[in-house]
Structure 1
Amino acid sequence: MEEFIKTKRKIISYLDGKVSETEDIIVTEFPLTIMLNGNEFATMVCTPTHIEEMVIGFLASEGIIRFFKRDISSISIDKDKGFAYIETVTKITSSIHDHTKRFIGSCCGKSRQSFYFQNDVKTAKSSMSKVQITYEQCIKLMSDLQSSSGTFRETGGVHNAALCTPDAIIVSRTDIGRHNALDKLYGHCLMNNIKVQDKILVFSGRISSEILLKASKIGVGILLSKSAPTELALQAAEDLNITTAGFIRGNKMNIYTHAERIV
Structure 2
Amino acid sequence: MPDNADEPGDYLIAPAPQGPGLTRRVTGRDQTGAEVEIPVVEERPLTIYLNGQEIVTAMTIGDHPRYLAVGFLRNQGMLGDGERVTAIDFDEELETVVVRTALQTSYEEKLRKKTRTSGCAVGTVFGDMMEGLEGLELPQTEVRASWLYTLARKINTTPSLYLEAGAIHGTVLCQGDRPLVYMEDVGRHNAVDKIAGWMFLEDVPPGDKILYTTGRLTSEMVIKTALMGIPVLASRSGFTAWGVEIARQVGLTCIGRMRGKRFTCLAGDARLLRDIDPESVPEEDRKSRRKGAGA
SS in 2 for 1:87: strand
Q: Within 5 A, what are the aligned runs for 1:44-193?
A: 44-67=58-81, 70-93=83-106, 95-100=107-112, 108=119, 112-113=123-124, 115-116=125-126, 118=128, 120-122=130-132, 126-193=136-203
Do residues 206 (structure 1) and 254 (structure 2) align?
no
How far apart in 1 are the matches of 2:151 and 2:189? 20
Number of aligned residue pairs: give it.
256
1:199 is displaced (CA, Å) by 0.8
1:197 and 1:219 in contact (8 A); partners too: yes
| Structure 1 unaligned regions, length at least 5 | none
Q: 1:7 to 1:124 in 2, by over 3 A?
A: farther
* Residues 36-79 of structure 1: per-residue CA shift (max 9 Å, x gap): 222221111112111101111111111111257x4222211112
1:181 partner letter: A
1:99 is displaced (CA, Å) by 1.1
SS in 2 for 1:92: coil
How far apart in 2 are the matches of 1:112 and 1:162? 19
How far apart in 1 are the matches of 2:121 and 2:43? 19
Q: CA RMSD in A?
A: 2.4
1:125 is displaced (CA, Å) by 6.4
| Structure 2 unaligned regions, length at least 5 | 2-18, 274-295
1:98 is displaced (CA, Å) by 3.6
Do residues 253 (structure 1) and 270 (structure 2) align?
no
Q: 1:135 to 1:98 in 2, by over 3 A?
A: closer
Equivalent pairs: percent with the same residue?
A: 24
1:30 is displaced (CA, Å) by 1.4
Match of 1:25 in 2: 39
1:146 is displaced (CA, Å) by 2.2
1:13 partner letter: D
1:128 and 1:241 in contact (8 A); partners too: yes
SS in 2 for 1:194: coil
How far apart in 2 are the matches of 1:242 and 1:67? 20
SS in 2 for 1:122: coil
Q: 1:76 to 1:56 in 2, by over 3 A?
A: same
Match of 2:30 in 1: 13
* Residues 88-136 of structure 1: per-residue CA shift (max 9 Å, x gap): 211112x23441498x99x8259735x3452641367634323212223
Do residues 35 (structure 1) and 46 (structure 2) align?
no
* Residues 146-165 of structure 1: per-residue CA shift (max 9 Å, x gap): 22142110111111111111
SS in 2 for 1:26: strand
1:87 is displaced (CA, Å) by 2.0
Do residues 3 (structure 1) and 7 (structure 2) align?
no
* Residues 202-257 of structure 1: per-residue CA shift (max 9 Å, x gap): 11100110110000111111101110110101110011100001000111100101
2:199 partner letter: C
